[in-house]
Structure 1
Amino acid sequence: MSAPAPSMRARVTRTDWDKLLTDGAIYLLALGGFYVGFKTLYSLALMVGYPTDEAMVVASLADIAILAYSRKAVREVKAGRSAWAIRLIVAAFSLGTFALQLRSAWPHPVSVGFHILPPAVWIIGHEMMLRGELRQAKKQLREHEIAQGLRPTPLPRLRRTWWLLDPYHTFTVWRLTKLWEQSPTFVILQEAARREHEGETIPRAWQGVLATGGQDEDEVRDRFIKALPPVPEKGSRTNQEIAAFITRATQLAGEFDIECTGKLLADILDCDPAQVSRIRTALREGKFKRLALTSA
């Protein structure tokens, strides 16, 4: 028996309105650029001797090619491939129409500005959208490979202030971290023990880690994230599922003795911090059932 179709309210709740509005605005800008480009290319085609019907086809080819190759590039990016060749083709067609529009407006400065604006806005917006899709696809692929054991779990990064204030010893820690494939805290503990045994001075940059007994905040945070239940899938999750996840995350944060901030939860859930704040407020007011998710 097939599952019942989701209600209209559920579909509205699961819709990523921010992404929908952003992509819609980009394609609205694209339509404006296409229209201006078509009118310019059509007039240029008539000027160089094309008949009316052929001039319309020639003027449409560039815009249709940009639209078709753009959609192909988006599909490739969603599959986890960079699609650089297709993106270069899109950029070439866009810059070609840009050059023709610039030529038709030259040398009047106001006319040049009006002809530059539409293709420039479209190219920048299209590239930003593709880069966002590419980052998301690579993130999902990386997480899948880590879960399958095909890629090691990323090690905690060294703080930028360490590189700024003590670059020499920070480079030593970074080098051994890569060679040993161990966390920076483990490397510092081992190197500090070796230096102490050999009578060498322990760098001041490492003394903060030694004073806390090697309990690095990044490592505690990583263990906390690993202990969390599976994150509800973005795009198909409801506020009730997010509320249950936040409830369980808050319980685990108390066990790990870390602060479960709204920003931390938003980073884990990959959503707007304002949404997390609204749901946490609703939880405090008893508008959601306080369901605790069991860890896997």
Structure 2
Amino acid sequence: MSAPGIRTRLARADWDKILTDGAIYALALGGFYVAFKTLYALALAVGATADEAVVLSSLADIAILAYSRKAVREVKAGRSAWGIRLIVAGFSLATVALQLRSAWPHPVAVGFHALPPLVWITGHEMMLRGELRDAKKQLREREIEAGLRPAPLPRLRRTWWILDPYHTFIVWRLTKLWEKPADYVIRTEATKRQNDGKDIPRAWQSALHEPEPESEGEGEDQPGSEGLRLRTLNGEYAAPDACASFLQALQPVPEKDAHNRRSNDVTDAFVHQAQTLGHRFGLDITGVALAKILDVDPATISRSQARIRAAASKTLTSTP
């Protein structure tokens, strides 16, 4: 596959982000110029030669720019990089202090010397926070798709917390423990209360009056459920025909026992067979997709994949 051309790259570029980051570094250049002039004059005042003054006054700005780019790289990888960010802020504040000393005690001169570096520090930190937020969001989405963490559940309504905090806390707690939607928890708890002859809280009434959604076992524990979306090995969504062909070739989903469980061997065999078959069809069978097919939590699929990898590694090491 050929690399995208210049026009394609320009069309895909996030121009809002490019212009914003460019404006921040334009502010940095302005601050660097003011800092250079101030540090150059201070270096000459303490007896440095002209060449030495140029070098000394450039070191601080070069260090700030170098550590700034290092912080951006770390943040884009999903790391907070607080140490590097503090170094950037420390060097910047040091130049601010020297400029304030040079301009003191004239208030207008102090303002002109302090404004560029302070604006740079604020804009740079805002840019890093935005990059870190986007990187963590992408990492979280990849982990959810791979089945390494459960998908986020819809939040409870704020009015429930205000009008009925006690029963809302019960629902919130059970959604976290069971990793089920609030509607499922409310219907389950309401049924228990009815059987025990207790009143149903008013905050739950709206959920009970809504049409009951399809149970999770319907259409999900059988291959070919309409809600299942698969991706190709290139990361793009697969065509519906390819998904249907894969689901038809997939062996039937193993039945659960009386305790609504499957043995590890049965689960591992199905997961291995599904992933192998998916590669033949050019599909990336993620943990979320397998969890949907088997009607289990994604964490169950993650443990199964770990067992499969451990068994494969053990087989390779034991082979003479």
State the TM-score, normalizing by the size of structure 1.
Answer: 0.70
Counterpart of 2:203 in structure 1 is 205
Counterpart of 2:55 in structure 1 is 57
The answer on whether the counterparts of 1:186 and 1:214 sit within 8 Å (CA) in structure 2 is: no
- C-alpha displacement at 1:228, in angstroms? 6.2
- C-alpha displacement at 1:118, in angstroms? 0.2
Counterpart of 1:290 in structure 2 is none
1:102 and 1:163 map into 2 onto residues whose CA distance is 50
Structure 1 segments (4+ residues) deviating >4 Å:
226-230
When residues 116 and 215 of structure 1 are mapped into structure 2, their CA distance, relative to the original with a 3 A threshold, is farther
Counterpart of 1:171 in structure 2 is 169
**Residue 203 (structure 2) pairs with residue 189 (structure 1):** no
- C-alpha displacement at 1:104, in angstroms? 1.6
Q: Which residue of 130, 138, 141 maps to 2:139?
A: 141
Segments of structure 1 that go 5 or more residues without pairing to the other structure are 217-225, 249-295
Q: Which residue of 99, 102, 105 maps to 1:101?
A: 99
- C-alpha displacement at 1:179, in angstroms? 1.9
- C-alpha displacement at 1:166, in angstroms? 2.3
Counterpart of 1:71 in structure 2 is 69
Counterpart of 2:296 in structure 1 is none
Pairing 1:1-296 to 2, within 5 Å after superposition: 3=2, 6-215=4-213
1:194 and 1:35 map into 2 onto residues whose CA distance is 71
1:160 and 1:112 map into 2 onto residues whose CA distance is 47
What CA deviation, in whole Å up to 9, does each residue of 1:198-231 have, x standing for no partner? 2222211111111003459xxxxxxxxx75676x
Q: Which of 50-59 and 16-25 deviates more?
A: 50-59
2:48 and 2:161 map into 1 onto residues whose CA distance is 63
1:144 and 1:40 map into 2 onto residues whose CA distance is 48
Counterpart of 1:251 in structure 2 is none
- C-alpha displacement at 1:60, in angstroms? 1.1
2:106 and 2:189 map into 1 onto residues whose CA distance is 68
1:41 and 1:104 map into 2 onto residues whose CA distance is 9
2:87 and 2:212 map into 1 onto residues whose CA distance is 52
1:32 and 1:228 map into 2 onto residues whose CA distance is 50
Q: Which of 180-189 and 70-79 deviates more?
A: 180-189
1:163 and 1:101 map into 2 onto residues whose CA distance is 52
When residues 48 and 152 of structure 1 are mapped into structure 2, their CA distance, relative to the original with a 3 A threshold, is same
Q: Which of 152-161 and 137-146 deviates more?
A: 152-161
Asked which structure has the greater CA Rg, the reply is: 2
What CA deviation, in whole Å up to 9, does each residue of 1:88-138 have, x standing for no partner? 111111111111112222222111111121011101111111111111111
RMSD over aligned Cα atoms = 3.0
When residues 129 and 228 of structure 1 are mapped into structure 2, their CA distance, relative to the original with a 3 A threshold, is farther
Paired residue total? 230
What SS class does the counterpart of residue 199 from structure 1 fall into? coil
2:196 and 2:162 map into 1 onto residues whose CA distance is 28
The answer on whether the counterparts of 1:209 and 1:215 sit within 8 Å (CA) in structure 2 is: no
Segments of structure 2 that go 5 or more residues without pairing to the other structure are 215-226, 241-288, 290-320
- C-alpha displacement at 1:8, in angstroms? 4.1
2:65 and 2:17 map into 1 onto residues whose CA distance is 19
When residues 194 and 112 of structure 1 are mapped into structure 2, their CA distance, relative to the original with a 3 A threshold, is same
1:49 and 1:168 map into 2 onto residues whose CA distance is 72
What SS class does the counterpart of residue 156 from structure 1 fall into? coil
Quote the sequence identity (%): 71
2:210 and 2:18 map into 1 onto residues whose CA distance is 46
What CA deviation, in whole Å up to 9, does each residue of 1:4-49 have, x standing for no partner? x544433332222111111111111111111111111111222233
What CA deviation, in whole Å up to 9, does each residue of 1:171-192 have, x standing for no partner? 1211122222222112111221
When residues 119 and 10 of structure 1 are mapped into structure 2, their CA distance, relative to the original with a 3 A threshold, is same
The answer on whether the counterparts of 1:105 and 1:111 sit within 8 Å (CA) in structure 2 is: yes
When residues 214 and 114 of structure 1 are mapped into structure 2, their CA distance, relative to the original with a 3 A threshold, is farther
